[in-house]
Structure 1
Amino acid sequence: MIASDTATSHERPAQPEPEPTPGPLSGDPALIGVPTFIVGSIALGLTLVGFVPAAAVGAPVAIILAATGIGQLVAALWAAGIGQSAVASIFGTFAGFWLSYGFLVLGLTHGWFGVPAESATATQALFLTSWAVVVGLLTLATLRLPVAYTLLFGLIATALTVVLFATLQDSAGLQTLGGYVVFIFAALGCYLFLHVMSLATGGRGLPLGRPLLSG
């Protein structure tokens, strides 16, 4: 009986493996995370360089909350759902950054948090310092990724630091400089978006550089 079964199984043609059916938990979360990051960065950069009057500090908040913050959160959940822990960590962290920035601006301009006017600068400095530290850690954590990602996070940390000093010194010049740094990392984000979109549409990715650390 065993020999007969074995012979039969050898004669039977092998059945092809069914191809996986694409579903909601597949693909690349960066296809949502990167463009929504770009649009918020552009809006923030334009605000910092004085595209809108200084009193209109809330000008980018609609984009930052409704597009960037939610987009980063969706990308983080998508990444977590397909087991991309590092990607989920990055997008989840930036969801926290953009959402908290929007609430900071709304809270200070509407008096939601009970922060007196004379403490507004210190409150903004607290926000910028906290996030500069976290993004600095992200920069170090990406040393084993292609250098484009490390450069991106390094530029974000630099922008936060420049805007921190601009806030503490009430310097319009430093604030403008911070805005230009934001534009630089937004441009790098555009490059990364073209990379992931090329891969998603069947093309080749763009060069991202060798990691600074290997092994």
Structure 2
Amino acid sequence: MTTSEAATAEYARHANEEPEPVSGPLSGDPALIGVPTFIVGSIALGMTLVGFVPAEAVGAPVAIILAATGIGQLVAAIWAAGLGQSAVASIFGIFSGFWLSYGFLVLGLTHEWFGVPAEAATATQALFLTSWAIMVGLLTLASLRLPAAYPLLFGLITTALVVVLLATVQGSAGLQAVGGYVVFTFAALGCYLFFHVMSVATGGRGLPLGSPVLGD
């Protein structure tokens, strides 16, 4: 079951009716765009965190993050909203906000767009990471009725944000690399979810996603 199907089925269950298939230009699964664009941005970010590029090249992943991941998540959110899948739209909308704001944070700090003095750059990054760690942590808890793969994904993202926050505050390259490897871990889980949604979309069987942590 995809995230979209889970949300639709849950809504129908509470409405005491079977979900009706959606036809027309908006039919389909928004995860087919949302998941792969999430993966590519995660890979680019992870490579940056583990030191694939020099430390001063912090803007290296921004082109992918803004033009592919941020926009891809936004398109998926709008698509899901058009299908009436509010929970799915919320998830992709949240991550659209994360990736777009990350890109603008990097560009803003490196080009001095926001009037943030150099000595406040670390605190500004900590503010960003803390805010998003809390938001994604809330999403993790709110998604416990979805198949287990989804709260696991969101929990890994929360963990990565916390580790990178600690690395930023402490100025630790080692912790930053650990954060990068956590990013690679949730990117790998994203790959699994991509195979799942693509298999379903092409007429195959979905992959096991685990039972929800919370039942009825």
Question: TM-score, normalising length from structure 1?
Answer: 0.90
May I ask how many residue pairs the two structures share in their alignment?
Answer: 196
What SS is found at the alignment partner of 1:209? Answer: coil
| 1:29-54 deviation per Cα after TM superposition (whole angstroms, max 9, x unaligned) | 00000000000000000000000000
- Gap runs ≥5 in structure 2: 1-20
Measure the CA separation in 1 of the matches of 2:27 and 2:128.
Answer: 35
2:40 partner letter = V
Query: What's the CA shift for 1:60?
Result: 0.1
Measure the CA separation in 1 of the matches of 2:179 and 2:57.
Answer: 17
Asked whether 1:61 is paired with 2:62, we answer: yes
Query: What's the CA shift for 1:22?
Result: 4.2
Q: How does 1:1-215 map to 2 (within 5 A)?
A: 22-215=23-216
Measure the CA separation in 1 of the matches of 2:118 and 2:27.
Answer: 48
Query: What's the CA shift for 1:170?
Result: 0.1
| 1:169-203 deviation per Cα after TM superposition (whole angstroms, max 9, x unaligned) | 00000000000000000000000000000000000
What SS is found at the alignment partner of 2:60? Answer: coil
Measure the CA separation in 2 of the matches of 1:160 and 1:177.
Answer: 11
Measure the CA separation in 2 of the matches of 1:108 and 1:92.
Answer: 24
2:151 partner letter = T
Return the index of the structure with the highest Cα Rg: 1
Q: Cα distance 1:87–1:21, how it changes in 2: closer, same or farther (>3 A)? A: closer
Query: What's the CA shift for 1:138?
Result: 0.3
1:80 partner letter = A
Q: Could you say what the CA RMSD is over the residues aligned between the two structures, in angstroms?
A: 0.9
Measure the CA separation in 2 of the matches of 1:211 and 1:177.
Answer: 28
Measure the CA separation in 2 of the matches of 1:160 and 1:128.
Answer: 6
What SS is found at the alignment partner of 2:144? Answer: coil
Question: TM-score, normalising length from structure 2?
Answer: 0.90
- Runs ≥4 in structure 1, deviation > 4 angstroms? none
Measure the CA separation in 2 of the matches of 1:181 and 1:98.
Answer: 17
1:150 partner letter = P
Measure the CA separation in 1 of the matches of 2:81 and 2:23.
Answer: 17
Query: What's the CA shift for 1:25?
Result: 1.2
Measure the CA separation in 2 of the matches of 1:45 and 1:105.
Answer: 15
Query: What's the CA shift for 1:23?
Result: 2.2
